[in-house]
Amino acid sequence: MYLPGVGPKKAEILGKEIEVFTWEDLLYYFPYKYIDRSKIFKIREIDGNMPFIQLRGRIAGYALQGEGSARRLTAAFYDDTGTIELVWFRMRRQIPELYKQDTEYILFGKPTVFGHRISVAHPELETESKFYDGEVGVQGQYNTTEKMKNAFLHSRAIQKIITQILGNIKRTLSETLPDAVIQHNRLISIDEALRNIHFPKTPDLLRKSQFRLKFEELFYLQLNILQVTKYREKRLGGLKFPRVGDYFNDFYHRNLPFELTNAQKRVVKEIRRDTNSGKQMNRLLQGDVGSGKTLVALLSVLLALDNGFQGAIMAPTEILAVQHYETISELLSGLNVEVALLTGSTPKSRRKGMLPRIKSGEIQLLIGTHALIEDVVEFGNLGLVVVDEQHRFGVVQRAKLWKKNTIAPHVLVMTATPIPRTLAMTVYGDLDVSVIDELPPGRKPVKTLHRYIKKKETLYHSVRKQLQEGRQVYIVYPLIEESEKMDLQNLQEGFETTRQIFPEYNVSMVHGKMKTAEKEAEMQKFVSGETQIMVATTVIEVGVNVPNASVMIIENAERFGLSQLHQLRGRVGRGADQSFCILLTRYELSETTRRRLAIMTETNDGFLIAEEDLKLRGPGDIDGIQQSGIAFHLKIADLSRDGQIVTIARDSAQEILADDPLLEKPQHQILKQQLAKLNQRRQAGWFMIS
């Protein structure tokens, strides 16, 4: 279909910028918000907190101001109650041609207030007659990029093109869901939904359109995930671990230094059930920092050993792999289990000697980093792979594990980044989820305090007290990629200052740019207590365990995300003593930052924090989703708010697949077609999980 007002150049920009290639794509380019176009404000009424608003007035004159990148075109815009300033940084030459002086315009934009001056940057201006062309009332606003705006494809232009498209389509748009699904969930038709999402006739119809389109998006996502899961179950089959033998029992009764928590027991049972079901296990184990996941991993490995299989534990970093190796070797002492460590820095000669022993099955448990899923590493009979702190591992690597044995080994993925239920269902819909929702007994919750940098002096006093009692201290600095150099400098300065303030103590420093061996050695000094203060970047974020550390100071805490702060905090509070986490910030903070810090001081509950994080940041930013290998492109559903729709959509998809797993029934052909279409869509990267 010919798109009115869209020449080849604009078409190219639409494709490149927002992946809109056809008129249909554009119909699925939904407004990101709606504005009441029926109200026009007076300049006198404007204050600093207004969203996008409309004014009616005239331009009194233009002026060029500023130099270099601050060069801008300004105009005075007035109505009968006052004057404001309009500002353009782009298209400075064209604007005065486009918008004449002393012509009445309807202005649309977001006012900003500086002292007594009010200005609107890059406003949209329309003459009244043109403006009332379209429908007045609630109007959609479309996201546009810089390049789009430069090509005059601003929100209003998009809206006009969509008006034309919908005007040209006289027939009803064909349905995209089976009748039964529509009836059962009381959805409005796709035709009504698409027309009203762009041009809502009433607020009620807008709500119904949003519901219908969100449902549809989540429904197909779920249908796809569930189908892939079924396919995988059928294709892969599973190894069976029927025996609980000597390895497991001896360890459990002789070596285990403490009683398992009820949550640990429950999860071990779940894993036993899975590994004996004849299906391949793909389980996600979520447990807050310090909840004792390592032990669950080890018990699962022993189960594999009891059934004649090998086990592997994979960690995201060298430090963690080594720590696992050491902890586990010690836990297993006297049990005659052959454990080996394989990482990127294992010397070639050592590795060479190990490979045949892995292949023969002599090495029963291999612990390591990514190095252990390299193709050269062949196992004799790998039965279980544990992936620790999974947000550093992707779906792609997971699939690679499946090929490590003729029958795919069971996979247990562990994470301390709690994933809110709705997100887990959507992103990890193919994984079963276990949760350790209980900390080992005797732990005191970490006390978290927010302090301003100015008050640092008093803080050092309390820190010294902890040190005098024999405790250890972490001081963490942020690291942001773009200004790595500055951050390192910052860290270095922090290191020097710390040494000056605490001359009687030994200070370690660790950062990501250090050589692994060096980093390791420094870390080891802190673990052994040789150094009492650890100045570091977030490299210590994941998994490191020093129970004697009782204070964590986070510098520039405003630069960390919620989940990250929580992860860091998890490094303390691992022993029996009261621990503290101090969030240091400057005084001026944004509203959301204050909220983040308040949440941290109020709760230690990782799940609550994850939910809040999702609300504050939106799912695109959640740790790990991006690294997880699944691009996330929900067009309308919002996982932080639409949890209920996720559930309904999943139920609906499940019901259909239970009744017709291969979608063969005539009434389900539409589902097959839609899935195929969605899988083809270039932008729908998330449909390609397998």
Cβ contacts of 39 within 8 Å, gap of 6 or more: 53, 54
Using the rule CB under 6 A, is 205 a contact of ligand ADP? Answer: no
* Dist. CA 666–CA 476, nearest whole Å: 60
* Dist. CA 153–CA 165, nearest whole Å: 16
Rounded least distance, CB 320 to ligand ADP, Å: 9
CB closer to ligand ADP out of 253 and 485: 253
Using the rule CB under 5 A, is 570 a contact of Mg ion? Answer: no
Max distance between CA atoms of the chain, in angstroms, equals: 92
CB closer to ligand ADP out of 144 and 472: 472
Using the rule CB under 5 A, is 418 a contact of Mg ion? Answer: no
Using the rule CB under 6 A, is 263 a contact of ligand ADP? Answer: no
159, 280, 294, 405: which one contacts ligand ADP (CB under 6 A)? 294
Using the rule CB under 6 A, is 290 a contact of ligand ADP? Answer: yes
CB closer to ligand ADP out of 261 and 674: 261
Only segment of 174-182, 334-342, 423-431, 539-547 that touches Mg ion (CB under 5 A): 539-547
43, 226, 289, 305: which one contacts ligand ADP (CB under 6 A)? 289
CB closer to ligand ADP out of 112 and 255: 255
Rounded least distance, CB 592 to Mg ion, Å: 29
Which does residue 140 bind out of ligand ADP, Mg ion, none, counting CB within 5 to 8 angstroms by kind? none
Rounded least distance, CB 291 to Mg ion, Å: 9
* Dist. CA 408–CA 416, nearest whole Å: 25
Using the rule CB under 6 A, is 472 a contact of ligand ADP? Answer: no
* Dist. CA 480–CA 537, nearest whole Å: 10
Only segment of 15-23, 258-266, 368-376, 466-474 that touches ligand ADP (CB under 6 A): 258-266
Q: Are strands 472-476 and 549-554 parallel, antiparallel or unpaired?
A: parallel
How would DSSP label each residue in 273-342?
A: HHHTSSS--EEEEEE-TTS-HHHHHHHHHHHHHHTT-EEEEE-SSHHHHHHHHHHHHHHTTTS---EEEE
Only segment of 146-154, 254-262, 274-282, 345-353 that touches ligand ADP (CB under 6 A): 254-262
Only segment of 226-234, 235-243, 537-545, 626-634 that touches Mg ion (CB under 5 A): 537-545
Contact by Cβ (8 Å): 120, 57? no
Contact by Cβ (8 Å): 640, 619? yes
Using the rule CB under 5 A, is 543 a contact of Mg ion? Answer: yes
Rounded least distance, CB 327 to ligand ADP, Å: 7
Using the rule CB under 6 A, is 404 a contact of ligand ADP? Answer: no
Site for ligand ADP (CB under 6 A): how many residues? 16
Rounded least distance, CB 579 to ligand ADP, Å: 13
54, 139, 276, 291: which one contacts ligand ADP (CB under 6 A)? 291
Rounded least distance, CB 557 to Mg ion, Å: 23
- Closest C-alpha among 549, 538, 554, 550 to residue 453: 554
CB closer to ligand ADP out of 65 and 249: 249
Alpha carbon distances (Å) from 131 to 27, 50, 56, 160, 413: 22, 22, 11, 11, 56
Rounded least distance, CB 568 to ligand ADP, Å: 13
How buried is 33 (Cβ within 10 angstroms: 0-12 exposed, 13-18 middle, 19+ buried)?
exposed
Only segment of 165-173, 218-226, 288-296, 494-502 that touches ligand ADP (CB under 6 A): 288-296
Using the rule CB under 6 A, is 320 a contact of ligand ADP? Answer: no
- Closest C-alpha among 213, 603, 681, 607 to residue 424: 607
Cβ contacts of 533 within 8 Å, gap of 6 or more: 467, 472, 473, 474, 475, 498, 502, 505, 506, 507, 508
Which does residue 258 bind out of Mg ion, ligand ADP, none, counting CB within 5 to 8 angstroms by kind? ligand ADP
How buried is 482 (Cβ within 10 angstroms: 0-12 exposed, 13-18 middle, 19+ buried)?
exposed
CB closer to ligand ADP out of 433 and 675: 433
CB closer to ligand ADP out of 94 and 262: 262
Q: Are strands 410-415 and 138-141 parallel, antiparallel or unpaired?
A: unpaired
Which of positions 620-649 make contact with Mg ion (CB under 5 A)? none
Contact mark string toward ligand ADP, 409..448, x via CB under 6 A: -------x-----------------------x--------
Only segment of 45-53, 205-213, 256-264, 365-373 that touches ligand ADP (CB under 6 A): 256-264
Rounded least distance, CB 495 to Mg ion, Å: 27
**Number of residues that make up the chain:** 690
Using the rule CB under 6 A, is 258 a contact of ligand ADP? Answer: yes
Q: Are strands 533-536 and 549-554 parallel, antiparallel or unpaired?
A: unpaired
Site for Mg ion (CB under 5 A): how many residues? 1
Using the rule CB under 6 A, is 575 a contact of ligand ADP? Answer: no
Q: Containing H/E element for 643?
A: helix 643-659
* Dist. CA 5–CA 157, nearest whole Å: 9
Give me 631's structure tokens. 């691009």
CA angle, corner 625, sides to 620 and 630, nearest 5? 100
Residue numbers of the site for ligand ADP (CB under 6 A)? 258, 260-261, 264, 287, 289-295, 416, 440, 545, 574
The binding site for Mg ion (CB under 5 A) comprises 543
